[in-house]
Amino acid sequence: MRSLLNEAERGARGNLKARLARQELTIGTWVSLAHPAVAEIMGRAGFDWVVLDTEHSVIDTSDIQPLLQALDASGCPALIRLTSNHPDQIKRAMDAGATGVMVPMVATAAQARAAVDAVYYPPRGQRGVGLARAQGYGAGFRDYVEWLEKQAVIIVMIEHIDAIARMDEILAVPGVDGFIIGPYDLSASMGKPGAFGDADVIAAIDAIREGGRRAGKPGGLHVVEPDWALLRQHIESGFRFLGYGVDIRILDAVCRRDLAAIRAPDA
């Protein structure tokens, strides 16, 4: 049986849904370049999960399946960051073989329920049934139905100031496994785009973290720049689901850092 349906083949990373339920610390990363080798490298590096970002990248629907195949071969759970909370988009991502979805701009419980409905088949949800890669092209449909109930992951993105007052309702929706803060959009919704040191932005992030603690749901944010010290700070603050870097920023940052060191006068 292919690795999408075989937990043992995922090695130490195991069942991501179960790990989230136990609130284990997991650290993932973002892929925005649509080449399977990039996804394969990131998956083999040891991240607990990898997000394929279709919202802010050139990754298109036709790119998703080969990227998923590369991550599947490396035993790394793959989440699709959607462009919107649309049932057709969620269905296609899941049919391609994604472990789950990361749903942008969730600000109400109704929006969270819509995402859950789009991931699961009736009677739990409203997803249409088809035979694609996730279902073993038809041969593994029954196995997929069982896998879906036990391992599909739904992460809601809290990235607007209006969502904070509804955190308890959003995270109480059955099927929501965790949350992640979109720091750029959150700060932008406050009229302070990218001002992560601003007192109001810090307070908003603290309020979201507290909402997750009340709900008993793992959450975190995306540390976009590859700054391991900052990541450590967020871990120590209590976050348990954290994104670290993105392929383009890791590549750029390492190149610039190392070239600066090489060209330094005392090198």
Residues annotated catalytic, as ranges = 56
Question: From CA 84, how far away is CA 164, in angstroms rounded?
Answer: 19
Q: Is 63 helix (H, G, I), strand (E, B) or coil?
A: helix
- Please check whether residue 26 is in contact with residue 231, taking contact to mean a CB–CB distance below 8 angstroms: no
Question: From CA 117, how far away is CA 122, in angstroms rounded?
Answer: 8
Burial class from Cβ neighbours inside 10 Å (0-12, 13-18, 19+) for residue 16 reads: buried
**Which candidate, 186, 154, 18, 3, places its Cα nearest to that of 79?**
154
Question: From CA 15, how far away is CA 27, in angstroms rounded?
Answer: 14
- Please check whether residue 33 is in contact with residue 57, taking contact to mean a CB–CB distance below 8 angstroms: yes
**Pairing relationship of beta strands 100-103 and 178-181 according to DSSP bridges:** unpaired
Question: From CA 29, how far away is CA 134, in angstroms rounded?
Answer: 22
- Please check whether residue 225 is in contact with residue 184, taking contact to mean a CB–CB distance below 8 angstroms: no
Cβ-based neighbour number of residue 134 at 10 Å:
23
